[in-house]
Amino acid sequence: ATPMSIMTATGRGAQAGVLIKNAEALERFAKVDTLIVDKTGTLTVGKPELQAVLAASEFDEDDILMLAASLERGSEHPLADAIVRGAEARDIKLQKATDFDAVTGKGVRGKVDGKSVALGNAKLLEDIEVDAGPLADEADSRRDQGETVMFVVVDGKAAGLICVADPVKETTAEALKALHKAGLQVIMATGDNARTAKAVAEKLGIDDIRADVLPENKAALVKELQEQGCRVAMAGDGVNDAPALAQADVGIAMGTGADVAIESAGFTLVKGDLVGIVKARTLAVATMRNIK
């Protein structure tokens, strides 16, 4: 690529909110055939809202929310934020948590009000050997609506569910159509549950879903596809996504996301929606065409 054509593309990109790190990123993106997108914060707004708290018998809804939110004050995860805001909206007074521990891709644990509390997904329940009991079916039907469901465990007992929903960004569906039309294979990767992932993906016309992906396995997924001969772009926003962005032929960071994600990426999308990916791809292909 000539320095001139790269400069032109970089300038046009910047005007459209697409920040291009270097010539190499642009050259590589023109050759990409597979795009992996993280669900939360990439396809969706990334600001989940509390939908419901369900208590198992012997437990109280507000109590469960108090314990969960008290614990989540120590977490920076968007799900934690939804729970804390949800508790505030219900005027629930939070307590101090101790022994806080974040389990990446699974949830959080700690002590609140003299009780040991764990909050997270099915993998977390497995780790601590707690059976979801009757809450399991309830969780599934909420997930089929596209909600993310977290189990709350109090002193070793499944005490309740916290359900949140993260709306899909307005621009996502149309941008996906354009990406498909550009000949890209689109894969959704998420740490979320398979049922939740499927409910969201179906609405968007994504048929390749990798759910229950632990953060460290996102990079492995990129590598696996590369070994199959795919040229992979990966779009994500989280701290967790950084290794996958670095492994990909092209990493695409959402500008609204974590700094490490941005550092690992060849492209940064200022507005942080998929429209930026469509623009970046068009720019890359046009630049490379002019050079040949």
Note whether 264 binds ligand ADP by CB under 6 A: no
Examine residue 38 and tell whether it contacts ligand ADP (CB under 6 A).
yes
In this complex, which beta carbon is closest to ligand ADP, that of residue 209 or of residue 277?
Answer: 209
Would you say 82 and 76 are in contact if contact means Cβ atoms under 8 Å apart? Answer: no
Q: Is 238 in the site for Mg ion (CB under 5 A)?
A: yes
List active site positions: 38
**138 forms part of the interface with ligand ADP (CB under 6 A):** no
What does 120 interact with, of Mg ion, ligand ADP, none (CB < 5 to 8 A by kind)?
ligand ADP
Q: Which of 242, 193, 197 is nearest to 215 (CA)?
A: 242
Rounded Cα gap, residues 283 and 178, in angstroms = 14
Residues 155-194, mask of contacts with ligand ADP (x by CB under 6 A): -----------------------------------xxx--
Q: Which is nearer to Mg ion, 52 or 239 (CB)?
A: 239
Taking CB under 6 A as the binding criterion, the range among 17-25, 33-41, 57-65, 125-133 that sits at the site for ligand ADP is 33-41
CA angle, 256 then 260 then 266, to 5°: 80
Nearest-CB residue for ligand ADP: 191
What residue is closest to Mg ion based on CB? 238
Q: Is 39 in the site for ligand ADP (CB under 6 A)?
A: yes
43-70 as b/e: b if 16+ CB within 10 A: bbbbebebbebbbbeebeeebbbbbbbb
Look at strands 148-154 and 267-269 and give their pairing.
Answer: unpaired
Applying CB under 6 A, the residues found at the interface with ligand ADP are 38-40, 72, 75, 77, 79-80, 105-108, 119-121, 148, 150, 190-192, 215, 238, 240
